[in-house]
Amino acid sequence: MRITLIGPGRAGLALALAARTSGHEIAAVVARRPDAAIEAASRLGDPPSLTIGAELPPCDLLMLAVRDDAIGDVAKAIAPTAGAADAVVHLSGLVPVDELAPLAERDIATGSFHPLQTIPTPAKGAERLAGAWIAITTRDEALRSRLGKLATSLRARPFDLADDAKPVYHAAAAAAANFPLVALAMAADLFEAADVPFEAAAPLVRAVIDNAFGIGPRSALTGPVARGDVGTVEAQVRAVAGVSPEWLSSFRALVGELALVTGRVEQFRHIVESEDRG
């Protein structure tokens, strides 16, 4: 495919790097600032570097890799010069495809292409696309097929995502990517209080994650809440209150969530709802 990248940030540049490595051609790089376009183009084989509003070259796919709240405005800005494009996608897992309406009105097929992966840098993100899942949303069946082939060429796994399912999908992705980090930040502070290196937990955490995806998160639960060991949890709460009181409410809340998942709400209610701070 000939791909024009609009918005050479981390996500867009990662996808463009991976696409070029996989044999696709980058037709142009478009950015608001000329220097940003030039810098990104230098990493992609020096295709034309353009600014928003310039005439866009013929391509198979326009890839809008801009902030969620800018997708509609950018789509409107490039619509008058995008007539030589066959299709356009944005990379948001939340924003509906209808935000690309100014381009659809010009008979350009529209959709979205969302990698379910963290992208800390363009280079690392390009590597991590291999094996990642990519959500595809479009009402155009021909485009759906082409985007599926694009994802497969990146060694990723395409799947269909309905437009109206995007908000709950995005919430799930945010929960999966961020909520465990809060628990790990808590664990890091508590390990430090016990004079134990946080790295000691790495094999445990990796095994837990493997179990979660092997047998399901509910079946993977272990520990005192899952066993109904109230005395142990009470001792843990007292310990947290003594060394890291700033984490006490979060610890109690997570005990409550564990109790909910394991069906032991009544057993642990006095711990979760207690006003005693240790």
DSSP 117-131: S--SSHHHHHHHTTT
Fold type of domain 168-272:
N-(1-d-carboxylethyl)-l-norvaline Dehydrogenase; domain 2 (1.10.1040)
Predicted pLDDT of residue 277: 44
What share of the chain in percent tops pLDDT 90?
Answer: 98
Which stretch of DSSP H or E encloses residue 193?
helix 166-193
Distance, CA of 227 to CA of 229 (rounded, Å): 5
For residue 274, name the pLDDT band (cuts at 50, 70, 90): confident
Residue spans of the domains in the chain: they are: 2-161, 168-272
Would you say 224 and 209 are in contact if contact means Cβ atoms under 8 Å apart?
no
195, pLDDT greater than 90: yes
Q: Say how many CA atoms lie within 13 Å of 244 toward its Cβ.
A: 19
Fold equal for 2-161 and 168-272: no
Both structure tokens of 95: 């924003």
Residue closest to 60 by CA, chosen among 41, 31, 37, 82: 82
Distance, CA of 233 to CA of 224 (rounded, Å): 7
Q: Is 15 helix (H, G, I), strand (E, B) or coil?
A: helix
Would you say 33 and 24 are in contact if contact means Cβ atoms under 8 Å apart?
no
For the segment 49-97, what is each residue's pLDDT rounded down to a tens digit? 999 999 999 999 999 999 999 999 999 999 999 989 999 999 999 999 9
What pTM does this model have? 0.92
- Give the angle 118-121-122 at the CA atoms, nearest 5°: 100
Distance, CA of 181 to CA of 271 (rounded, Å): 23
Which backbone phi and psi does 276 adopt, to 5 degrees? -70, 125
The residue whose two tokens read 């390990």 is: 191
Question: Domain 2-161 is in which class?
Answer: alpha beta
